[in-house]
Structure 1
């Protein structure tokens, strides 16, 4: 006997983070993601606040913490069902959550260890494009390539004869290492992310040359270049493109008396080091361009100019050495929004000194130190130094200290792993016949409203709704 299908949203409805959605048919349901709330969405209490007794499985789209960070809380709430994810995600997920649990004030080391062991037992890797049925239910699902990070997927779910697609996070074409998004099949309902629903990204085609130019400009002042970057996805993208620059422009000068092929690239982050190693182990999941580099004897994540710093003592020694050295270097350190991690130690030393340059390559959320630095620090627009006419010196609070921002700030766009408005519209329009309904999640209200207006104009017969803002039906 067929039942009605109920779709609920337990996160990513008021903002960008905390993705968690439910499909229920009768007395059985599944969750799509169980993510952490961050930035302006931050919640002190992350305990699971919805019924889970009927949840038969958790289906993970990808392993960014805003999609998986609440899994420990789900397990502690009593969930013992399978955790389905793609094969790369099954490798990456334990590393991401182990790192997240290190900084959890709520969970002791023994509890964190127990949760990780339990999660490992529950993980069920699935290949892309393979249907998985849940016995005793009217639910089945499969993963399709989402083009966001390695292993990322959108989920096609059949529930009591109704087809629902959960986009997860969608990427843009031509991302380093990542296979492009698979065109979607017909569905009745599309749950669509809207992170960049109100904007377009600059071209990815020339961003490598913009990165090269910004680094060369930075070394004119004979300081260091610091790049705050997320350990998963962004760091690997940067390494891929830096290796490419070194290969193609190795004899060109990056600084006075220093050719590109002698420039030291330092990755100082234990999580980034681990994720980069795992990315290397998963090279059979890379896209064709990256596979071709391997066949040529090049490795875009491991090259002679690269130094990877793991242990804490090595980090302190590296920081001391780069500060004493007069040789240019590029340091990539986490976290990407400067809210914690080793990048804070570098910032405290480098920000007050006008010789140094801080190069941002990712979105800086409101109320983060990264946003303060980008908005208030001096920056160069290619012609002149800009300070926005501020009379008082700019500063940012790091570890409870006010740190002056005298270093020059750069901001290179085009490195987001998310698709922009055009990518989201293209995904929705590729569904033929068009879905009956599109629900917009995982975005700020302005982005959702802008995307809704575009979708309504392009797909006039489709009901486009914003859950919790409008009646989702």
Structure 2
């Protein structure tokens, strides 16, 4: 076998389970991410570790979403004792994500959880962005990595790996994109391309499509909430606890800020005039204990926010801690809130976990309210095949049904999807990430995408290279040939 090479242990037939192994020599390697399989992939893929840990020097984490870190409990259980390298913000967020995963997958016994988290904290090494860190330095091999902002969620990074083989003089730079963000994301600056790469492992989640205008997405969110208020019901927004929840709160706070200012200059209604609930009075309910804890950490990490967000703070605003925000913690409070909103139809905005509706507190809201036409469900993120969210998206507009906790549930609530909120780069952004390099990669491997998205992006990459008279091998890995994949060439 020729080194270096990359082996893929996930995210090669879909968008979840990211786990890639950079094999530097026959006895030395590092892992990039170790994520859970979700949706349909979870039914066919075991979360256990099926590859050897011998010679793995470190785990490098691009960001702390479950599909990139969710298999970490299994990795530790399999005997991994090496360092866990991640950005400084990710080091703050990771223990919360792992605690939640451990409770779901392993044990809820407090002492067991405490021992587990202590072990994790001892293995985490927090790295600043844009600084080189040496992992291996022997007489034959030097390996150093650098984390650069990826713009996906707070703390997200792409990983530059510089390898130098001292005996042969070979030098290679291999870049793992992780999940790349799109421009105009709250809190985060847009990602910048690396200077160069010989090999690029590139995500392709939205490799076959373009996002709706992100600059007008807040207007579309405002219209969706206006519709929910006019229907005299609750707007249910399934959201991932990390990233999407904080973005939505940030956007809703800005709308509330404007609406409150406009309401303050309106003439008061006549005493006998009955008006529907207005924006400045609508409660915004965050029903996810994990999201609440993560949002608190987001507030503590304001040094990593972008300039726009810092200006709001400087003006005395609280983008993640505003007055109308209500957090629901205990299960009893959660069920009380579900029953109250379902029975009264009181207008409210509910942001609840989880993002694809396959688990989390959003399921109880859906079971109680999906059959009531007063309510609305708004999707703002990707729904993987086979998830409850994808089924509601598919059958909701036509008045179909879904199975919820073993019971048929007719979909009478309004169902809509709001584009422009994806935390992933679209096809144009991904192409710009490549073309923005001074030295373009000679090999690109497309991962973390459905087959259609990977194929479409491969076609566009080949066209991009041909237009510049450059040569590239584009590989689309598969579980049949994980080392080679399907090769497409521009020459």
Q: Same fold (TM over 0.5)?
A: yes
TM-aligned CA deviation for residue 114 of structure 1:
3.5
Aligned to 1:193: 203
Aligned to 1:382: none
Aligned to 2:21: 22
Q: How many angstroms apart in 1 are the aligned matches of 2:376 and 2:24?
A: 55
1:139 equivalent in alignment to 2:143: yes
1:266 equivalent in alignment to 2:285: yes
Aligned to 2:460: 454
Aligned to 2:412: 406
Q: How many angstroms apart in 2 are the aligned matches of 1:406 and 1:186?
A: 52
Which of 427, 430, 434 is residue 436 of structure 2 equivalent to?
Answer: 430
Aligned to 1:38: 38
- Which structure 2 residue ranges, 5 or more long, are not aligned? 165-170, 264-273, 479-484
Q: How many angstroms apart in 1 are the aligned matches of 2:422 and 2:370?
A: 24
Describe the superposition over 1:130-170 as per-residue Cα deviations: whole angstroms up to 9, x where unpaired: 10102444211010000000000000001122101100000
Where 2:349 maps in the other structure, the secondary structure is strand
Where 2:206 maps in the other structure, the secondary structure is coil
Checking the alignment, whether the CA contact within 8 Å between 1:251 and 1:260 is kept in structure 2 is no
Aligned to 2:172: 162
1:358 equivalent in alignment to 2:377: yes
TM-aligned CA deviation for residue 257 of structure 1:
3.7
Where 2:223 maps in the other structure, the secondary structure is helix
TM-aligned CA deviation for residue 323 of structure 1:
3.2
Q: Mean Cα displacement is larger for which, 413-422 or 319-328?
A: 319-328
Aligned to 2:12: 13
Describe the superposition over 1:387-416 as per-residue Cα deviations: whole angstroms up to 9, x where unpaired: 3xxxxx622111112112111112111111
Q: How many angstroms apart in 1 are the aligned matches of 2:438 and 2:13?
A: 29
Checking the alignment, whether the CA contact within 8 Å between 1:360 and 1:410 is kept in structure 2 is yes
Aligned to 1:395: 401
Checking the alignment, whether the CA contact within 8 Å between 2:256 and 2:280 is kept in structure 1 is yes
TM-aligned CA deviation for residue 45 of structure 1:
2.5
Q: Mean Cα displacement is larger for which, 111-120 or 176-185?
A: 111-120
1:228 equivalent in alignment to 2:238: yes
TM-aligned CA deviation for residue 296 of structure 1:
0.4
Q: How many angstroms apart in 2 are the aligned matches of 1:165 and 1:45?
A: 27
Describe the superposition over 1:145-202 as per-residue Cα deviations: whole angstroms up to 9, x where unpaired: 0000000000000112210110000001110011221321111111110010000000
Which of 308, 313, 316 is residue 289 of structure 1 equivalent to?
Answer: 308
Q: How many angstroms apart in 1 are the aligned matches of 2:46 and 2:108?
A: 16
Checking the alignment, whether the CA contact within 8 Å between 2:19 and 2:34 is kept in structure 1 is yes
Q: How many angstroms apart in 2 are the aligned matches of 1:183 and 1:225?
A: 38
Q: Mean Cα displacement is larger for which, 6-15 or 412-421?
A: 6-15
Checking the alignment, whether the CA contact within 8 Å between 1:252 and 1:260 is kept in structure 2 is no
Where 2:242 maps in the other structure, the secondary structure is coil
Q: How many angstroms apart in 2 are the aligned matches of 1:323 and 1:435?
A: 54
Normalising by structure 2, we get a TM-score of 0.89
Where 1:267 maps in the other structure, the secondary structure is strand
Where 1:103 maps in the other structure, the secondary structure is helix
Checking the alignment, whether the CA contact within 8 Å between 1:251 and 1:259 is kept in structure 2 is no
TM-aligned CA deviation for residue 251 of structure 1:
5.2
Which of 332, 350, 358 is residue 331 of structure 1 equivalent to?
Answer: 350
Where 1:316 maps in the other structure, the secondary structure is helix
Q: How many angstroms apart in 1 are the aligned matches of 2:16 and 2:474?
A: 21
Q: Mean Cα displacement is larger for which, 47-56 or 292-301?
A: 47-56
TM-aligned CA deviation for residue 203 of structure 1:
0.7
Counterparts of 1:234-253 in structure 2 under 5 Å? 234-250=244-260
- Rate the CA distance shift 1:30–1:472 in 2: closer, same or farther, 3 A: farther
Checking the alignment, whether the CA contact within 8 Å between 1:250 and 1:259 is kept in structure 2 is no
Where 2:213 maps in the other structure, the secondary structure is coil
Q: How many angstroms apart in 1 are the aligned matches of 2:84 and 2:68?
A: 13
TM-aligned CA deviation for residue 338 of structure 1:
1.0
Q: How many angstroms apart in 1 are the aligned matches of 2:360 and 2:318?
A: 27
Aligned to 1:383: none
Where 1:97 maps in the other structure, the secondary structure is helix
- Rate the CA distance shift 1:346–1:209 in 2: closer, same or farther, 3 A: same
Q: Mean Cα displacement is larger for which, 286-295 or 219-228?
A: 219-228
RMSD: 1.9
1:415 equivalent in alignment to 2:431: no
Q: How many angstroms apart in 2 are the aligned matches of 1:369 and 1:397?
A: 8
Q: How many angstroms apart in 2 are the aligned matches of 1:230 and 1:108?
A: 22
1:184 equivalent in alignment to 2:200: no
| Aligned residue-pair number | 456
Where 2:214 maps in the other structure, the secondary structure is coil
Q: How many angstroms apart in 2 are the aligned matches of 1:326 and 1:364?
A: 27
Q: How many angstroms apart in 2 are the aligned matches of 1:49 and 1:258?
A: 55
TM-aligned CA deviation for residue 441 of structure 1:
0.8
Describe the superposition over 1:85-111 as per-residue Cα deviations: whole angstroms up to 9, x where unpaired: 00000011111111122221x556465
1:86 equivalent in alignment to 2:92: no
- Which structure 1 residue ranges, 5 or more long, are not aligned? 379-386, 388-392
Q: How many angstroms apart in 2 are the aligned matches of 1:180 and 1:471?
A: 30
Q: How many angstroms apart in 2 are the aligned matches of 1:136 and 1:424?
A: 33
Q: How many angstroms apart in 1 are the aligned matches of 2:45 and 2:440?
A: 40
1:208 equivalent in alignment to 2:218: yes
Where 1:250 maps in the other structure, the secondary structure is helix
Q: How many angstroms apart in 2 are the aligned matches of 1:191 and 1:170?
A: 12
Checking the alignment, whether the CA contact within 8 Å between 2:208 and 2:427 is kept in structure 1 is yes
TM-aligned CA deviation for residue 471 of structure 1:
5.3
